[in-house]
């Protein structure tokens, strides 16, 4: 064998070994630096103190507010026409026997008698709950049996075998976001379901001549942080009040800074484990709020896309494509179609 060939054959194994080691090293470095750049998306950015601005109503008496019926007396043409069908207004409504969830309860021999006690229905197209008014003012009992809707409008009962009433749960875990003006001490609500007050706050009579007195009025030009406080007061399903320990805000009034008393677990956005990742509904809410509240990126709020009284997000289709869109769309520009997604919530038990 030629001498030079023998030399090559002798060193070849160690060259190969070195090569393999080098490739492995590259992979390891690459892995850690990509981890670091993922974390840097959040961690590297300057964070604001969300509690720094404004005031709140923690510890103060509940404001006496004007009820929706009165508002609609003057606003029946702009808002009155759509309010009846607005999902905020309807989150709790009378339990009509023709509602699919009620029909299912009445149809099932195990719950037929129980159904006679149900007065109110809460929820939407994925899940609904049965309620009855409690004797105590501003309280309701919630039933253990639930209605779920997999697809279409046929209701499927869950836990129908041992239907019973719970007189604590609704007040301590649900009332703050599904009823209006909850007293932090007694957890009594003023009105079942959501009234104008939930978003427009303690609206003064004088707003008719000076609309800047009214939260969310066009002239007032509320800051993105103020808007985020209003919508976030119910749409953040990962927070708790520091003063009450309850999973909903304490005496929040539109115009307040929610984040003085409401502690939010923003880390839910950073889950990488597939089973813990937020669904697109919660993710797009939490991501948008974190941008505004924590990073001071005020380019976009809920109202950039949602028109609350027209119940539409149609205007969102005109926006420039960004990474944010990938909560619901695959990465493409222009956007075509959208991802199918399901929504579950530990907070809301569905």
Determine which residue in the list 234, 253, 258, 293 makes contact with ligand HEC, applying CB under 6 A. Answer: 234
Contact between 198 and ligand HEC by CB under 6 A: the answer reads: yes
Q: Name every residue whose Cβ is closer than 8 Å to that of residue 129 and which is 6 or more positions away in sequence.
A: 121, 122, 123, 142, 143, 146, 147, 349
Of 242, 235, 246, the C-alpha closest to 305 is 235
Q: What is the DSSP letter of 80?
A: I
58, 115, 174, 190: which one binds ligand HEC (CB under 6 A): 174
Interface residue with ligand HEC, options 50, 123, 184, 255 (CB under 6 A): 123
Q: How many residues bind ligand HEC (CB under 6 A)?
A: 86
Residues in the chain: 350
Strands (E), the chain: 92-94, 120-123, 127-133, 140-148, 156-158, 165-166, 179-180, 191-192, 239-241, 262-264
Which of 139/178 has CB closer to ligand HEC? 178
Closer CB to ligand HEC, 115 or 289, in the complex: 289
Task: List binders of ligand HEC among 298-317 (CB under 6 A).
Answer: 300, 302-309, 311, 313-314, 316-317
Minimum gap (Å) between residue 283 Cβ and ligand HEC: 8
User: How many other C-beta atoms are found inside a 10 Å radius of the C-beta of residue 231?
Assistant: 19
Q: Which of 196, 213, 225, 278 binds ligand HEC (CB under 6 A)?
A: 196
- Rule CB under 6 A: choose which of 7, 12, 208, 271 binds ligand HEC: 208
Q: Which of 248, 259, 262, 266 binds ligand HEC (CB under 6 A)?
A: 248
Other beta carbons within 10 Å of 273:
6
Q: 53 or 324, CB closer to ligand HEC? A: 324
Is residue 231 at the binding interface for ligand HEC, with CB under 6 A as the rule?
Answer: yes
Q: Which of 71, 226, 264, 294 binds ligand HEC (CB under 6 A)?
A: 71
Contact flag: residue 328 with ligand HEC (CB under 6 A): yes
Among 200, 240, 260, 290, binds ligand HEC (CB under 6 A): 200
Q: 2, 3, 151, 336: which one contacts ligand HEC (CB under 6 A)?
A: 336
Cβ at position 164, least distance to ligand HEC in Å: 15
> What phi, psi does 56 have (nearest 5°)?
-145, 180
How do strand 191-192 and strand 239-241 relate by DSSP bridges?
A: unpaired
Closer CB to ligand HEC, 115 or 254, in the complex: 254
Please tell me the distance from the alpha carbon of residue 216 to that of residue 227, in angstroms, as a whole number.
Answer: 8
Cα 143 from Cα 4, distance rounded (Å): 86
Q: Please state, in angstroms and rounded to a whole number, the distance separating the CA atoms of residues 318 and 17.
A: 55
Among 307, 304, 308, 273, which Cα is nearest to 289's? 304
From candidates 241, 280, 293, 294, binder to ligand HEC by CB under 6 A = 280
Only segment of 7-15, 37-45, 70-78, 153-161 that touches ligand HEC (CB under 6 A): 70-78
| 134 is an interface residue for ligand HEC by CB under 6 A | no
Site string for ligand HEC, 73-112 (x = CB under 6 A): xxx--xx---x---xx--x---------------------
3-state secondary structure of 130: strand
Instruction: Report the candidate in 253, 261, 248, 260 with the shortest Cα–Cα distance to residue 214.
Output: 253
Whose Cβ is closer to ligand HEC: residue 186's or residue 211's?
211
User: Cα–Cα distance between 107 and 99 in angstroms, integer?
Assistant: 12
Cα–Cα distance, 349 to 290 (Å, whole number): 24
Among 48, 134, 158, 199, the residue binding ligand HEC under the rule CB under 6 A is 199
Residue 237 interacts with ligand HEC (CB under 6 A)?
Answer: yes
Q: How far is the CB of 279 from ligand HEC (least distance, A)?
A: 8
């Amino acid at each position: 064998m030629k001498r030079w060939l023998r030399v090559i054959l002798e060193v070849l194994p160690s060259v190969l070994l070195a090569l393999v080691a080098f490739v492995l090293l590259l992979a390891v470095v690459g892995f850690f630096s990509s981890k670091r750049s993922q974390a840097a998306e959040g961690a590297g950015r300057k964070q604001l103190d969300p509690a720094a601005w404004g005031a709140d109503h923690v510890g103060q008496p509940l404001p006496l507010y004007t009820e929706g019926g009165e508002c609609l007396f003057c606003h029946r043409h702009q808002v009155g026409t759509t309010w009846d069908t607005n999902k905020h207004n309807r989150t709790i409504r009378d339990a009509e026997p023709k509602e699919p969830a009620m029909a299912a309860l009445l149809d099932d021999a195990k719950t037929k008698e129980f159904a006679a006690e149900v007065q109110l229905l809460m929820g939407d197209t994925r899940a609904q709950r049965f309620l009855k008014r409690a004797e105590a003012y501003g309280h309701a009992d919630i039933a253990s049996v639930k209605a779920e809707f997999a697809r279409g409008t046929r209701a499927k009962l869950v836990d129908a075998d041992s239907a019973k009433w719970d007189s604590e749960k609704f007040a301590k875990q649900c009332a703050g976001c599904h009823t209006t003006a909850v007293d932090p001490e007694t957890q009594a609500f003023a009105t079942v379901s959501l009234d104008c007050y939930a978003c427009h706050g303690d609206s003064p009579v004088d707003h008719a001549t000076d609309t800047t007195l009214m939260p969310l009025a066009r002239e007032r030009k509320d800051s993105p942080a103020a808007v985020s406080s209003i919508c976030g007061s119910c749409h953040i399903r990962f927070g708790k009040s520091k003063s009450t320990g309850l999973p909903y805000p304490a005496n929040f009034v539109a115009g307040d800074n929610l984040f003085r008393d409401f502690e939010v677990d923003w880390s839910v956005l950073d889950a990488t484990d597939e089973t813990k990742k937020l669904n697109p509904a919660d993710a797009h809410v939490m991501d948008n709020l974190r941008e505004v509240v924590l990073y001071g990126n005020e380019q976009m709020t809920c109202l950039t896309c949602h028109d609350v009284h027209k119940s539409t997000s149609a205007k969102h289709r005109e926006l420039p494509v960004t990474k944010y869109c990938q909560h619901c769309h695959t990465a493409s520009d222009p956007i075509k179609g959208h991802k199918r997604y399901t929504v579950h919530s530990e907070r809301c038990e569905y």
